[in-house]
Chain A
């Protein structure tokens, strides 16, 4: 009696998880996943050691790029929160809109832009090192 109930419960949990409205991961997670998947197997696709090594380095740089941005963002977030809280506590600076502090809390576009530019450069360099056939084989990895 217990087993069927347990299976039903398990099914319900899995069903709920599958139907969850939780959104898909952010771009950085996807970029990291794509780069990580390719970094490991690039040696099986590109047999020329020098090219394979550089490509692996490029994919690993994409992973570290995400990490660096995480760190920068967490630091910026802490800084903004602290500034905002400090100003909110002060009666003189009660207008966060006029003070421009609110803008600080919205991610500085330039940071992401620079990261995206760096990512683009890496991806374009990867293309220059790959033949179309190799590229397509790696693209199928993830």
Chain B
């Protein structure tokens, strides 16, 4: 029984192309336990020595095989990195491994035979009970193995390159350091008292901000992040509220639906909350994204205010002129304070960006120009107004990389 378990473990170990993590450490723990149990349970010194020798033989074979596995991986990696690599280069990698595997098989068979000759049935049962009781032994659980199901396709966990092809959330394992406008996490971040975007921004007539942060793809379609460096530089320096956002995405054939819960740490008007939905249509050259958010500022427990509630429906269309260069158009409708008459706004903005692949990282160098209150179609007094003076310029760069 014990050898059945060990043989199963070896099968796991010898699967060079298996996806599971290297089980060698677990197997080593099991063999150590096997050794300990053998010392305890086999009373006859001569038989015990033979049994331990069998284990040593097996371990030696296993070590050699694992070393060969490392060589094999390095060989494949080297072939992968060589432009002129041929079939022969790959074949040369697997040859030694096959012979090492045959050698391991022999050492296992020899060791098993030797061990079983030295340890009687009752001792074997006790040793097996002791080893298989270990938590590591779940590796050998055939019932668990029997539950193998066809794996469901998961989202690719690499950085997404071309901007128009990107989804709402970062793939799992991808981190973005945001210090530029037009990034996904700040889409729709328009609170009643402030509009938030990454990078350095100038807002006419004299307001300067610097905002940076990071977002992590925590699961295949869930990201979390924060703009934790929100500084107002001029006219007066101060630390702005931090924006924290969580986004869950549902991917369909050609559309993504995103649900975002974001909030701001207390500022002059207390906590800011900005829940919303986004619909995104990524495309090869053109992408569109539409959102509906209900931003509100609700005061704090100490400083109570009547909640300021707005509604914001941003729209962004992104056009990749070439895979690395893109333009964007932002608009939509925003009503920053529903309790006030005539605050319906139509913003208008333009953006541009260049995506640069630098080694293993992607850098988006971006800039945007926005009129956040461009058109007021129904002001409280008078007729529709176009506002050209209140503009905002932002620029910066965002970095994307794989965490592991």
Contacts and interface: CB of A to CB of B under 8 A. Distances in A.
B349 to A, nearest CB: 25
Contacts, number: 210
Nearest to A138: B357
A17 interface: no
A14 interface: no
Interface string B81-115: 10101110011001000100100110011001100
A110 B357 CA distance: 39
A44 B148 contact: no
A119 B89 CA distance: 13
B19 A116 contact: no
Contact residues on B (Cβ < 8 Å of other chain), bracket? 35 or more
A73 B142 CA distance: 12
B10 A105 contact: yes
B19 A123 contact: no
Interface string B137-156: 00010100110111101001
B18 to A, nearest CB: 5
B165 A43 contact: yes
Contacts of A106: 7, 10-11, 14, 101, 104-105, 108
Interface of A: 21-34, 36-45, 47, 49, 52, 60, 63-67, 69-71, 73-78, 80-82, 84-85, 88, 96-97, 102-103, 105-107, 109, 112-113, 115-116, 119-120, 123-124, 127, 130, 132, 135-137, 139-142
Interface of B: 1, 3-4, 7-8, 10-12, 14-22, 24-25, 66, 69-70, 72-73, 76-77, 79-81, 83, 85-87, 90-91, 94, 98, 101, 104-105, 108-109, 112-113, 140, 142, 145-146, 148-151, 153, 156-162, 165, 171, 284, 322-324, 355-357, 359-360, 362, 402, 404
Closest 4 pairs (CB-CB, A-B): A81-B142, A74-B148, A105-B7, A40-B158
Given A43-B162, A106-B10, 8 more contacts: A24-B22, A27-B69, A34-B77, A64-B153, A66-B17, A78-B142, A102-B108, A102-B109
